[in-house]
């Protein structure tokens, strides 16, 4: 190989190593965000259940009377 070819191969290897590092970082970020989304979904389910319980508990206690502005 000539010196020019060796330098081009070296430049490609450097670019490849940067790309591999970038892809690994993106993958770890995607995994972290996936875990966050799963956590938020679970919290949302819990809050939805509690809200439904509160609504059901309040339905029987709401009096059927005219609002004070009438």
- pLDDT, one tens digit per residue, over 5-52 is 999 999 999 999 999 999 999 999 999 999 999 999 999 999 999 999
- Residue 66 confidence (pLDDT): 72
DSSP 8-state symbol, 70? -
pTM, entire model: 0.64
Among residues 8, 63, 25, the alpha carbon closest in space to that of 33 is found at 25
């Amino acid at each position: 190989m000539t010196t020019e070819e060796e330098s081009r191969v070296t430049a490609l290897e450097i670019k490849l190593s940067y790309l591999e590092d970038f892809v690994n970082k993106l993958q770890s970020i995607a995994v972290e965000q996936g875990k966050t989304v799963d956590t938020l979904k679970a919290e949302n389910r819990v809050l939805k259940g509690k809200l439904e319980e509160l609504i059901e508990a309040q339905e029987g206690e709401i009096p059927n009377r005219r609002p004070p502005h009438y």
